[in-house]
């Protein structure tokens, strides 16, 4: 029977061969599908989709409040900060699925023996994770906005706040993805990657009140403000305050906006550089 | 036209010299690259893919320089790594389609090509199942399929028969031969087992410790030798005595006799001697060099 299968002659391919942009996009889409477990087993869809559902709950509550009580629930600018544990769990559980399998099962040589460079590979992975995270933020915020338009509250719709939240969400996603993927890529084991990312998040958020109260109790209020920047969600919120003039979602004030922006850019750069170094090392094995 | 050529190619690592002044060329067809583990085969392949810069010297693949035109080479070449490289949770189809797109094929073309090559390597219905449940033989086929999916001009196969049982090994070698002949794709295949390359290669390159030992057409390795193998049912002893008495050089080799042939008359003498003694002649065969023998001689002469 197998000889029948073999007897079909070999056909050469003389169709188009597309450039690096095409393969990078294809890899990003492939990875994005992987984040949500699409094309994988049902089990790998449970975590991302249940977290995405949890993200929608406050949006539904907000809409209900607008519809029944005629007043706003959560402000657009505070959504990501309020939902930070869910976003952090999503990052921790899904970032390793983006990077770990290719390292663990040594799939990387199959990419690098093709016209795909390390830069394109890392770029596609970061783009995929960023897209997934910002979808998680943008979907509920957009739902609230649509709800606001439909319910037609008193006063003009908060279009500027809504768009500001989308831009901030994108920036937050880029920051979380580049740092999260860099941490996750350090280990080829998925479970260890999950644990490392969540540990870094817990450390960063637990250190905020400790550093803040220590500095505040010694009367160093200006120094205490910097403590907020230890947590990525408040850090990006500080940038939002600077860029869009929203009210801070922390008790007290943030340091001057440009510095916060600088910290965000520096952290993203460190994350990307760590990823590039990590993969350069993996490729030379 | 040369499929690949190297000129004084050297690659040093901090502790070892993996390739040492290697100058070699290979034409179209199936070329075997033979060497013990650590002889520098995998290093050579990485350099040919443009993934590892040479320390000194140069190399060209399909006429393209590996140091400056690596991206173009990787577009035209397929690579099957030696080690496991398949993620277990995706199906063979999905993986091969994805890797075809990584080589620049549009979505529909990638699907068609993937279905085609998976059929050619002999994966039928199982290609829709997750790779994690595959046998070693099936995994090797998937690895081969991903190297072929973008219809390369040349494929580099690093130890494709590694870990296969004798039957799987045979099928893989047959497939490699077909790729080199029917498919019209040149093949560079590495192995540390010389015997298996004899069957499939047009040309064999032997390297040891990064140095070229020999590079020649397969015919030169396996040309006829001077000896004739004789097998008789019983009476090996009397036959040997009779032939020695007639002035032939006879060496017993287990149940066989190796007789040095001086010309057609040797064969006549053996036939007549067997007939006279009333022996049952089972085999009368002209001996051929095996590349193992050549390799052993070369290594000994170097050492």
Q: What is the pLDDT of residues A87-128, one digit of tens each?
A: 999 999 999 999 988 989 999 999 999 999 999 999 999 999
Whole-number Cα distances in Å, A14 to B50, B106, B178, B179: 24, 12, 20, 17
> Which member of A16, A26, A39 has the closest CB to residue B94?
A39
């979380």: which residue's tokens?
Answer: A176
Q: Does A43 touch chain B (CB under 8 A)?
A: no
Residues in chain B closer than 8 A to A110 (CB atoms): 79, 81, 85, 99, 102, 146
B105, A15: Cβ pair inside 8 Å? yes
- Taking CA–CA distances from A99, the nearest residue in chain B reads B87
Half-sphere exposure of B166 (CA within 13 A, CB side): 1
Q: Does B151 touch chain A (CB under 8 A)?
A: yes
Q: What average pLDDT does this structure show over B82-98?
A: 93
Architecture of domain B224-289: 2-Layer Sandwich (3.30)
Q: What's the confidence (pLDDT) of residue B225?
A: 67
Shortest distance, CA B165 to any CA of chain A (angstroms): 18
Q: Does B167 touch chain A (CB under 8 A)?
A: no
Choose the mutation target among B51, B90, B102 for the interface with A, i.e. most A CBs under 10 Å: B102
Q: Are A162 and A141 in contact (CB under 8 A)?
A: yes
Percent share of chain B, pLDDT over 90: 53
- Residue A1 located in a structural domain: no
Residues in chain A closer than 8 A to B99 (CB atoms): 110-111, 114
Q: Does B182 touch chain A (CB under 8 A)?
A: yes
Shortest distance, CA B114 to any CA of chain A (angstroms): 11
Q: Does A13 touch chain B (CB under 8 A)?
A: yes
Q: Does B132 touch chain A (CB under 8 A)?
A: no
B103, A17: Cβ pair inside 8 Å? yes
Q: Which domain holds residue A265?
A: 19-283
Residues in chain B closer than 8 A to A27 (CB atoms): 102
Q: Does B92 touch chain A (CB under 8 A)?
A: no
For residue A68, the tally of other CB atoms under 10 A from its CB is 9
Could you give phi then psi for residue B31, rounded to 5 degrees? -115, 130
pLDDT at A186 over 70: yes
pLDDT in tens, A24-40: 999 999 999 999 988 77
List every span in chain B annotated with CATH 3.30.70.980: 224-289
Residues in chain B closer than 8 A to A16 (CB atoms): 104, 106, 109
Shortest distance, CA A23 to any CA of chain B (angstroms): 5
Q: Does A38 touch chain B (CB under 8 A)?
A: no
Shortest distance, CA B42 to any CA of chain A (angstroms): 11
Shortest distance, CA A27 to any CA of chain B (angstroms): 7
Shortest distance, CA A25 to any CA of chain B (angstroms): 9
**ipTM of model:** 0.86
A17, B105: Cβ pair inside 8 Å? yes
Q: Return the C-alpha torsion angle A26, A32, A33, A34, nearest 10.
A: 110
Q: What's the distance, Cα to Cα, between the start and end of chain A in Å?
A: 41
Local structure of residue A158 (DSSP, 8 states): -
Shortest distance, CA B195 to any CA of chain A (angstroms): 25
Indicate the range of A268-272, B31-35, B63-67, B234-238 predicted with least confidence: B234-238
Q: What's the confidence (pLDDT) of residue A283?
A: 83
Q: Where are the beta strands (DSSP E) in chain B?
A: 4-12, 17-26, 30-34, 56-61, 64-65, 77-80, 154-157, 186-191, 203-208, 211-217, 224-232, 250-253, 256-260, 281-288
- Residue A112 located in a structural domain: yes
pLDDT at A5 over 60: no
For residue B220, the tally of other CB atoms under 10 A from its CB is 14
Residues in chain B closer than 8 A to A12 (CB atoms): 151, 184
pLDDT in tens, B164-213: 998 999 999 999 999 999 999 999 999 887 777 888 999 999 898 889 98
pLDDT in tens, A127-143: 999 999 999 999 999 99
> Which member of B102, B106, B122 has the closest CB to residue A111?
B102
Rounded Cα distance between B240 and A116, Å, is 66
pLDDT in tens, B71-80: 999 999 999 9
- Residue A89 located in a structural domain: yes
b/e string for A161-185 if b means 16 or more Cβ within 10 A? bbebbbebbbbbbbbbbbbbbbbbb
> Which member of A10, A15, A16 has the closest CB to residue B182?
A10
CA B105 to chain centre: 30
Among A residues 109-168, those touching chain B with beta carbons less than 8 Å apart = 109-117
Residues in chain A closer than 8 A to B182 (CB atoms): 9-10
Q: Say how many domains are in chain A.
A: 1
Q: Are B6 and B57 in contact (CB under 8 A)?
A: yes
Residues in chain B closer than 8 A to A44 (CB atoms): 89
Q: Does B122 touch chain A (CB under 8 A)?
A: yes
Whole-number Cα distances in Å, B109 to A41, A152, B156, B183, B184: 26, 50, 23, 18, 20
Provide the CATH number for the domain formed by B4-221 in this structure: 3.40.50.300
- Residue A6 located in a structural domain: no
A2, B122: Cβ pair inside 8 Å? yes
Q: Does A44 touch chain B (CB under 8 A)?
A: yes
Q: Are A235 and A260 in contact (CB under 8 A)?
A: yes
Q: Are B169 and B199 in contact (CB under 8 A)?
A: no
A8 vs A207, more confident: A207
List every span in chain B annotated with CATH 3.40.50.300: 4-221
Rounded Cα distance between B5 and B17, Å, is 20
pLDDT at B250 over 60: yes
pTM (2 d.p.): 0.84
Q: Does B82 touch chain A (CB under 8 A)?
A: no
Q: What's the confidence (pLDDT) of residue B292?
A: 62
pLDDT at A3 over 60: no
Shortest distance, CA B10 to any CA of chain A (angstroms): 17
Name the pLDDT band for A1 (thresholds 50, 70, 90).
very low
């Amino acid at each position: 029977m197998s000889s029948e299968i073999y007897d079909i002659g070999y056909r050469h391919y003389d169709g188009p061969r597309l450039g690096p942009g095409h393969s990078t996009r294809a890899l990003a889409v492939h990875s994005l599908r992987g984040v949500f477990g699409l094309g994988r087993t049902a089990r790998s869809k449970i975590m991302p989709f249940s977290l995405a559902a949890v993200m929608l709950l406050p949006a539904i509550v907000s809409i209900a409040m607008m519809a029944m009580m005629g007043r706003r629930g959560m402000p657009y600018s505070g959504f990501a900060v309020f939902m930070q544990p869910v976003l952090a769990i999503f990052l921790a559980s899904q970032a390793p699925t983006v990077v770990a399998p290719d390292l663990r099962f040594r799939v990387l040589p199959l990419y690098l023996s093709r016209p795909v460079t390390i830069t394109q590979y890392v770029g596609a992975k970061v783009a995929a994770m960023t897209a997934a995270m910002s979808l998680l933020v943008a979907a509920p915020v957009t739902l609230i906005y649509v709800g606001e338009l439909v319910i037609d509250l008193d006063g003009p719709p908060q279009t500027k706040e809504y768009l500001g939240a989308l831009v901030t969400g994108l920036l937050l996603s880029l920051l979380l993805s580049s740092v999260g993927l860099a941490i996750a890529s350090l280990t080829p084991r998925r479970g260890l990657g999950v644990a490392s990312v969540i540990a870094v998040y817990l450390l960063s958020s637990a250190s905020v009140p400790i550093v803040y109260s220590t500095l505040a109790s010694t009367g160093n209020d200006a120094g205490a403000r910097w403590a907020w920047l230890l947590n990525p969600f408040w850090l990006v919120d500080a940038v939002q305050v600077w860029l869009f003039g929203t009210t801070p979602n922390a008790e007290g004030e943030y340091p001057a906006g440009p510095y916060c922006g600088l910290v965000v850019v520096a952290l993203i750069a460190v994350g990307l550089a760590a990823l590039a170094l990590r993969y350069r090392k993996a490729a030379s094995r | 036209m040369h499929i690949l050529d190297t000129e004084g190619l050297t690659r040093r690592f901090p502790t070892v010299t993996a390739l040492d002044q290697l100058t070699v060329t290979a034409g179209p067809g199936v070329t075997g690259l033979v060497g013990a583990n650590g002889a520098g085969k995998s290093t050579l392949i990485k350099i040919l893919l443009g993934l590892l810069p040479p320390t000194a010297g140069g190399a060209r693949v399909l006429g393209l320089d590996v140091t400056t035109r690596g991206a173009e080479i990787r577009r035209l070449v397929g690579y099957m790594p030696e080690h496991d490289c398949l993620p277990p949770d995706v199906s063979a189809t999905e993986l091969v389609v994805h890797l075809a797109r990584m080589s620049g094929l549009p979505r529909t073309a990638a699907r068609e090509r993937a279905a085609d090559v998976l059929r050619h390597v002999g994966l039928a219905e199982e290609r829709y199942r997750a790779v994690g449940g595959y046998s070693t033989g099936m995994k090797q086929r998937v690895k081969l399929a991903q190297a072929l999916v973008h219809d390369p001009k040349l494929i580099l196969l690093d130890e494709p028969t590694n870990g296969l049982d004798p039957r799987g090994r045979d099928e893989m070698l047959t497939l490699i031969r077909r790729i080199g002949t029917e498919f019209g794709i040149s093949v560079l295949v590495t192995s540390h087992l010389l015997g298996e390359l004899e069957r499939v290669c047009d040309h064999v390159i032997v390297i040891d410790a990064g140095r070229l030992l020999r590079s020649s057409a397969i015919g030169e390795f396996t040309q006829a030798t001077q000896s004739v193998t004789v097998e008789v049912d019983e009476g090996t002893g009397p036959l040997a005595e009779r032939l020695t008495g007639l002035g032939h050089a006879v060496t017993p080799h287990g149940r066989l006799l190796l007789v040095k042939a001086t010309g057609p008359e040797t064969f006549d003498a053996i036939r007549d001697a067997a007939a006279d003694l009333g022996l049952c002649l089972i085999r009368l065969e002209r001996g051929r060099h095996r590349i193992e023998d050549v390799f052993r001689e070369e290594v000994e002469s170097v050492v």
